[in-house]
Structure 1
């Protein structure tokens, strides 16, 4: 299995590489310029930060359209982590930024007195069954019509895992979520070899 890992000069890519090295036999290729992009089994985008800066960085190195085309044309599977998941939707109210538009939906701010939402919280995989994962975000995907699993934060419920065809999106950071986070990454990656 070959994985393309998008690096923009910030983000948590080293923890992602560590997790992958411990849980499966895969080759990880770091992408930080257009010339790095090639056919892979999986793209992983471990986004951290703001959508505006992320999109500006992708445009500056001419990677935005290439990555988008690979996702839209089903050339590979995609794992988006936190901002890496939010960027696939239509619009982000943070900085009034258009997203890639791969999926229908908007990214909205968490309107609570305690923002950002940082720390461990439960992802409900089914009624009465949940696991703890590590979150760090101020915005959330405001759509629930995709196949998803929900997390509650104070007065908000939001999708924290979304599956859509060849896409898997997590609002939390599985790479720093210990055993269950690594197990989830392993499960997601093994889907592509079946």
Structure 2
């Protein structure tokens, strides 16, 4: 029986993420929201969501002594980061001058004020709402998801991998930014698949079937 753990560190849309995963999980699979290191270690797949400020998320995460269990999961099993859960995987964020977990080399930067869209209209920060995601690789998590499919975003900061090869998809918002990153058994997305209707559910289903 597949065991899926959504990591609870006090931040993030945990129940919505868990409910979305339950909709697409294989029959008999267990979907748990947990802050227990032992459950994370025993899981077959691990999901780290997140929302809010990066420094708050990292503080709460580290206060629960989850780093080693999550680090082991990120090295050894299919691992999904969502929104701030993606940003936490990088080395450093400009938000609060915050150190991340360093699983993916790179940094997290803030969208500049005064960015303009293709129509010349000033873009708001945070980037909020539906936007196109364009895969730049044939990663299995994109299976059955069309080029330019729309997903739901809410964020003021974006990830910038040190190695462009880590970019699994990009999105345009004043600039082209990395909206999904992949490395070995880690896949991470800046958008919210749990809020992204059929495309989001397909991505979660693909993650559960992925064999890195």
- Deviation (angstroms), 1:189: 1.3
User: In the aligned structure 2, how far is the partner of 1:21 from the partner of 1:65?
Assistant: 26
How far residue 9 of structure 1 moved from its aligned partner, in angstroms, is 2.6
Residues 105 and 142, structure 1, Cα contact 8 Å, conserved in 2 = yes
Partner residue in 2 for 1:142: 160
- The answer to whether 1:69 aligns with 2:72 is yes
- 3-state SS, counterpart of residue 181 of structure 2: strand
Corresponding residue for residue 46 of structure 2: 43
- Work out the CA distance in 2 between the residues paired with 1:15 and 1:165: 27
Matching residue within 151, 161, 164 for 2:171? 151
Secondary structure at 1:145 match in 2:
helix
Does the 8 Å CA contact 1:12/1:47 hold for their aligned counterparts?
A: yes
Please list the CA deviations of residues 74-93 of structure 1 after superposition, one character each: whole Å capped at 9, or x if unmatched.
Answer: 22111000111111111101
Match of 2:33 in 1: 30
Q: Which stretches in structure 2 are left out of the alignment for 5+ residues?
A: 115-123, 137-145
SS in structure 1 opposite 2:170?
A: strand
Tell me the distance in 2 between the aligned counterparts of 1:110 and 1:19. 29
Structure 1 Cα separation of the partners of residues 70 and 89 of structure 2: 11
Q: Which moved more, 1:158-167 or 1:7-16?
A: 7-16
Residues 172, 105 of structure 1: alpha-carbon distance in 2 compared, 3 angstrom cutoff: same
CA RMSD of aligned residues (A): 1.8
Counterpart in the other structure of 1:174: 193
Where is the strand percentage greater, Structure 1 or Structure 2? 1
Q: Secondary structure at the match of 1:115?
A: coil
Shift of 1:160: 0.8
SS of 1:4's equivalent in the other structure is: strand
Which runs of 4 or more aligned residues in structure 1 lie more than 3 Å from their structure 2 counterparts after TM superposition? 33-37
Q: Secondary structure at the match of 1:10?
A: coil
Contact (CA 8 Å) 1:33, 1:62: kept in 2 or not? no
Q: Partners of 2:88 and 2:60 in 1: how far apart?
A: 13
Q: Within 1, Cα distance between the matches of 2:99 and 2:113?
A: 24
- TM-score between the two structures when normalised by the length of structure 1: 0.90
1:39/1:75 contact within 8 Å kept: no
Residues 1:186 and 2:187 are matched in the alignment: no
> Are the counterparts in 2 of residues 123 and 133 from structure 1 also a CA contact under 8 Å?
yes
What secondary structure, in the 3-state scheme, does the structure 1 residue paired with 2:201 have? helix
CA distance in structure 1 between the aligned counterparts of 2:41 and 2:159, rounded to whole angstroms: 29
CA contact (8 A) 2:167 2:181 kept: yes
